[in-house]
Amino acid sequence: MVSRKTNKDGSIIIKKYANRRLYNTDTSSYITLDFLAELTRKKVDFVVIDAKSGDDITHNILTQIIMEEEANGETLLPTGFLKEIISMYGNSMQSMVPQFLDASMSNFHKNQKQMKEVLENVVTSGPFGDIAKQNIEMAKAARDAIMPSILRGESQNPSEEKDLSSDKQAEIDALKKQMAELQTKLDRLDK
């Protein structure tokens, strides 16, 4: 087993060099900010250390990732919110804002998880769950009836298409004959 190069709390150590390159000490490779953004999305803990000074610059790198995401059109932070954050710098409440934002985000994730669980329960249980299951089964049956050759894994090669066409035509002819017989019976009943 390869030993991971992490700090004492288990976070992956990323070193940032003067040439602005980021080095992942866990994989011994250079990485990008996009890679760090992906690690963040996957909830992988990492710490970014300035290679020269040894200072923890994780906050600065995360802020840089946010700036790049926002600049790429992936706007998540509304202008009003950004203005409120900026106005808090130097304010007597500045020391309380980080804890408040952390708690708010934790509550948001908790509520999001609860909502997802509730929606999954609604879809899979109770009368709605039964209806959803029936609809899924009906959709599968319709798909099987409409596209049986695809479901059986038959290929759609041009050489086989002629055989399929004749088979389909035979099926259509048989259905037409059955419909004509049913129409004749209905006509007799109507008289």
Provide the pLDDT for residue 13.
Answer: 95
Residue 50: enclosing H or E segment and its boundaries? strand 46-50
Q: Which residue has the higher pLDDT, 98 or 121?
A: 98
What is the percentage of the chain residues whose pLDDT exceeds 70?
77
Provide the pLDDT for residue 116.
Answer: 79
Provide the pLDDT for residue 39.
Answer: 94
Instruction: Record the tokens describing residue 135, joined without a space.
Output: 């609809």
List the one residue out of 167, 188, 170, 166 whose CA is nearest residue 178. Answer: 170
Instruction: Record the tokens describing residue 186, joined without a space.
Output: 């209905």
Provide the pLDDT for residue 74.
Answer: 75
The backbone torsions φ and ψ at residue 123, rounded to the nearest 5 degrees and listed phi first, read -70, -35
Q: What is the pTM of this model?
A: 0.56
Q: State mean pLDDT over 142-163.
A: 53
CB 33 within 8 A of CB 27: no
pLDDT tens digits, residue range 58-114? 999 999 999 999 998 878 889 999 999 999 999 888 889 899 999 999 998 888 888
pLDDT tens digits, residue range 34-66? 999 999 999 999 999 999 999 999 999 999 999
Indicate the angle between helix axes 33-41 and 58-71, nearest 10 degrees. Answer: 100
With cut-offs at 50, 70 and 90, classify the pLDDT of residue 16: very high
How far is it, in rounded angstroms, from Cα 103 to Cα 99?
6
How far is it, in rounded angstroms, from Cα 55 to Cα 72?
29
How far is it, in rounded angstroms, from Cα 30 to Cα 28?
7
The backbone torsions φ and ψ at residue 96, rounded to the nearest 5 degrees and listed phi first, read -90, -20
